[in-house]
Structure 1
Amino acid sequence: MTNILLTGSSRGIGAAIATALTLPDVTLVGHGTASGIPADFADPAGPLTLWNAALEQLDGRIDVLINNAGVFEANPLDRPHDEWVADWERTMRINLTASAELCRLAVRHWQERQSGGRIVNIASRAAYRGDSPAHWHYAASKAGMVAMTKSIARGYAAEGILAFAVCPGFTMTGMAADYLSSRGGEKLLADIPLGRVAMPEEVAETARFLALAAPASMTGGVIDVNGASYVR
């Protein structure tokens, strides 16, 4: 039995990942007010609270951590300086710092158990391509997540600790749908050679593969799911 902790499992990509991992040999603990353990990642105490509660539910063993929770909130440059900085720090704490804390707890857990484990971080195309002028913070947080993933992969592969990242482009979630409509959906779709945004199930299938089936030699890999809107 594989025990998995999935953050941000209430909706969108997270809910699709939870569905993809509804398997006979998987026990999954979700995070979110609608789907699992509630924990506010804007609160510095949130990640550790979630980790400890998940460990308790999973009888003291977590095999896979999937960091999916995140926010995508506009932060225009013409806002008052203090407000802009506060929203920058909020996005960094939720998208990157909380994920880093959980990755650290997972690595230490697997080191103590000498068991190995897997981390799957849901990042974004924005990590490589950047984002709009109102979303510096979002792009920076996802670039940090990719760099962190690669660092974990390089640092702990010899201990059987594997780390992967997924970089979706626009995905048909509520978060992306609002952004598409606010920035002229047809124009943005024209930038995607596939002709459509990704479906949550496509990202979820990628996460499922990395969590359960990807060969160990793939550790450090970053998988793009963006309809060829950004290739590298």
Structure 2
Amino acid sequence: MQTHILISGASRGIGAAIAEALVSDTTKVVALSSVDGDLADPAVPDRIWNRALAHLDGRIDVLVNNAGVFEANPVDADDAEWLANWNRTQQINLTASALFCRRAVLHWQERGEAKEKRGGRIVNIASRAAHRGDSPAHWHYAASKAGMVAMTKTIARAYAKENILAYAICPGFTMTGMAEEYLSSRGGDKLLADIPLGRVAMPEEVAEMARWCALDAPASMTGAVLDVNGASYVR
């Protein structure tokens, strides 16, 4: 039986690499992009979930939450603008992911009650910023990713007995369009000097970790938070 997978934020970068890594003869993947709906709208995640569920024949086995924004929010911004930026980042990065996770948990519980195949897997793409923080203009981003890690751990602890497993992955800088622009700027040398490996991670490296967590990671590893940052932050 094919494994049915829903991936958010899959139009480019890490998300696109994850989708490519997960597509095979044994999987059926719905890879979401911004055209599927604006996750800043609280009503969108539930609508997307229901559409994806219909496309996947009423069964989702794996949820990968990758959608997110990384937008500057200077501390000296206008009060209303700063709060609006904070709320937008929390809504997209954390709350939308939480809504997807909630739907997934309820879906798997319903399948369990119907004595169908029980359980499922959640893979949340968080960030190194969840542990070490981020720039002064990115309080909101670091907070959203820390919340994602805490949510992952809570889901793992709460539902392991139902074979509902949850993993989080925390990339550092990854070679997406954003990193390429930064590396070509005056900040590039400083960024690389902070990474003992001497380079940023490649999307395919993060994707391989996500593929493994989604399909092969042992159940006893549920709740684990995996780093991929070239030893720029070790715990």
Q: TM-score with structure 2 length normalisation?
A: 0.95
Query: What is the match of residue 233 of structure 2?
Result: 230
Question: Is 1:185 paired with 2:188?
Answer: yes
Query: What is the match of residue 97 of structure 2?
Result: 99
**Structure 1 residue runs without a partner (length 5+):** none
SS in 1 for 2:36: coil
Query: What is the match of residue 25 of structure 1?
Result: 26
Q: Count residues with an aligned counterpart.
A: 229
User: Letter of the aligned partner of 2:144 in structure 1?
Assistant: S
Supply the distance in 1 between the matched residues of 2:186 and 2:37 (Cα, whole angstroms). 31
Supply the distance in 1 between the matched residues of 2:95 and 2:73 (Cα, whole angstroms). 19
How far is 1:180 from its partner? 4.4
SS in 2 for 1:166: strand
Supply the distance in 2 between the matched residues of 1:185 and 1:14 (Cα, whole angstroms). 23
Question: Is 1:11 paired with 2:23?
Answer: no
| Runs of at least 4 residues off by over 6 Å | none
SS in 1 for 2:170: strand
How far is 1:175 from its partner? 2.6
Question: Is 1:125 paired with 2:128?
Answer: yes
Query: What is the match of residue 115 of structure 2?
Result: none
Write out aligned runs for 1:129-148 (5 A).
Answer: 129-148=132-151
- Which deviates more from structure 2 when the two are superposed, residues 68-77 or residues 37-46? 37-46
**Structure 2 residue runs without a partner (length 5+):** 113-117
SS in 2 for 1:8: coil
Query: What is the match of residue 216 of structure 2?
Result: 213
Identity among equivalent positions (%) equals 73
Aligned in 2, Cα 1:2/1:231: closer, same or farther, shift over 3 Å?
A: same
Q: TM-score with structure 1 length normalisation?
A: 0.96
User: Letter of the aligned partner of 1:161 in structure 2?
Assistant: I
| RMSD of equivalent CA atoms | 1.1
